[in-house]
A and B are shown apart, each in its own frame.
Chain A
Amino acid sequence: MSAITAIVAMIGKRLIGRRVALILALLTLAPAVVLMVRDDGNQPAAFHNWVGPLLFALALPLVALLTASAALGEERFGHTLPYLMVKPIARTSIAGAGWVAATIVSFAIGMVGVGSAWAVAAVRTGETGIGWGAAVGAAITMIGYAAVFVPVGLMARQSTLIGLAFILIWEGVIAGAGDTLAVASLWRTGLSEYVAVTPDVPADVLDALGNLTPGAWGAFAKVLVLSAMSIAGTTLLLRHRDLVKE
């Protein structure tokens, strides 16, 4: 195991071991519960309608925020960052390890929701492949959000408030108000991937995309570029900012 893998494993274990991870996982179960109890839960459209808006617009961003902002943020504000920083490891590697751990754990928690809804829908509709698009879309969404929230968590103690403002005001209100700004919305980028790889997606889900054109590779490329920028930004923070208190 290399030093970077060791950091990814350490941060990942810490993130998944928190009580908040369990609470977030329970939160993502909402679509599965809804599909289980509703009469129309035996229709494929119901899966897409509930997993789309409920999971992508609300649960996944919250999971990513509370997970990714803690990846390096808890190291800094919990005073354990010196154990990573005073080591012969490039700052880029620490930044990259934080992003990888945040993405993996956010995706794992998000997949509790996608997987449970997928399982319920598969049983009720008989379509076992119904959740592939949602799973791929969730992965894209988590890559994008981790890219945003890892540096925010490292930078600010109030990262949860900042992230909530980003999710509710920017993503929820501003990006949703006009079609043109939808391209800057991360959960819509994930949803566009979902739509691109899923046949027969209901109109309500398509409406949520605004002017965003569904495309698998475009969404993937967008979050990868964002992640590269995030790792570069996090590296600069690690290199040039005082990350311990006076």
Chain B
Amino acid sequence: MNTVEVTRLSKWFGHKVAVSDITCTFGPGVTGILGPNGAGKTTLLRCLVGLLHPSDGSVTVLGKDPNRWPDVFGKVAFVPEHEAVYEQMTARQFIAFNARLNGVTDPAATEAAIELVDLTSAADRALGGFSKGMRQRAKVAASLAHEPDILILDEPLNGADPVQRAKLIELFVTLGRSGKTVLVSSHVLHEVDRMADRVIAMIDGRLAAIGSVRQLRDLMTDVPRSIRVEVDHPRRLAAALMATAFVQSVTVEEHSIIVDARDAAGFARTLAPTSQLAGTVISRVRPQDESLESVFRYLVGGR
């Protein structure tokens, strides 16, 4: 069952197109919205919660336009990317305030949310004195107190330390498994990998890929990788590598070669034995374009 539907959504600010012609749906489970900074993830999420109005296309949440029917927010929670909070409030007051605005007045709901994110010992401290990671946890707790069906979390792991990061990921996975629709944006691939059943990859405001983490990984395996190999005899190794099936082209430099590999995994397996056979000594191997953005650019180019 789809709880959130996005149809041909575009959003532009003046001449800048932030989101372009996106159509997708979301349902129960954790969906990761993955993309480099500036890919349009935040704009998409803000359109979902009515903070931005689509320039074209439409968004429905539980079958309703969130801009026209704010009552749907009773079943929705949003954790904004910005770390701004009401600094004068304590964490407990902030969570209770958010719960109250959602119609929940039972203090037990606030206490349960505080415990969920391990903020019990700091609950009576003012948010103004919180670290970024603690603020994130307070924001997540504030979003959970009214037990929403849909959670929309914009980079919720930013600033959290590794232990808290792991706990938050576990929490999101648990919520997803309990039937809630959880949308989590991130620019960190391995974080999304750990929590999301399904991934939407975005770049330059466009939808680059959609599917399970495995499907996205398969797509990435096909990306031609550019790899720099520092070696004592560049020409000798270049000639040997060109004879293998995994290499598309080689650029020879003074003390290194730059290999465009058709299959990065196959190249990795072949490099050492090929070098040994050619009688060369490799001192360093490093990918030229391993960034997430370069992978996404490939995915977009392939569409």
Across the interface, do B76 and A86 meet the contact criterion of CB distance under 8 Å? yes
Given contacts A243-B51, A246-B13, A246-B16, contact A84 B84 (CB under 8 A): no
B86 touches A242 (CB 8 A): no
Would A82 and B53 count as touching, CB distance under 8 A? no
User: Number of A residues whose C-beta is below 8 Å from B?
Assistant: 29
Nearest-neighbour CB distance to chain B for A11, whole angstroms, equals 10
Q: Is there a chain B Cβ closer than 8 Å to A178's Cβ?
A: no
A85 to B72, CA, bound (A): 12
CB-CB under 8 A for A3 and B53, given A79-B82, A88-B70:
no
**A17, A84, A87, A243 — most chain B CB neighbours (10 Å):** A87
Complex interface: chain A residues within 8 A of B51 (CB): 81-82, 85-86, 242-244
Residues of B close to A240: CB separation below 8 A: 53
In the complex, residue of chain A having the shortest beta-carbon distance to the beta carbon of B52: A242
Q: Are A87 and B70 in contact (CB under 8 A)?
A: yes
Interface window among B99-107, B175-183, B237-245, B251-259 = B99-107
Given contacts A6-B97, A80-B86, contact A244 B78 (CB under 8 A): no
Q: Please tell me if the beta carbons of A89 and B43 are within 8 angstroms of each other in the complex.
A: no
Are B82 and A88 in contact (CB-based, < 8 A)?
no
* Pick from B49, B82, B100: contact of A6, CB under 8 Å: B100
Q: How many A-B residue pairs have CB under 8 A?
A: 77
Chain A residues whose C-beta falls within 8 Å of the C-beta of B13 in the assembled complex: 246
| CB–CB A244/B46 < 8 A | yes
A-chain residues with CB within 8 Å of residue B89 when the two chains form the complex:
10
Chain A residues 62 to 102 lying within 8 A of chain B, measured CB to CB, are: 78-91
Pairs A–B under 8 Å by Cβ, sample size 22: A1-B105, A3-B101, A6-B100, A7-B101, A10-B97, A17-B88, A80-B86, A81-B51, A82-B78, A85-B50, A86-B49, A86-B50, A86-B76, A86-B78, A88-B74, A88-B102, A90-B70, A242-B51, A242-B52, A243-B51, A246-B13, A246-B43
Hey, which bits of chain A sit against chain B, CB under 8 A? 1, 3, 6-7, 10, 13-14, 17, 78-91, 239-244, 246
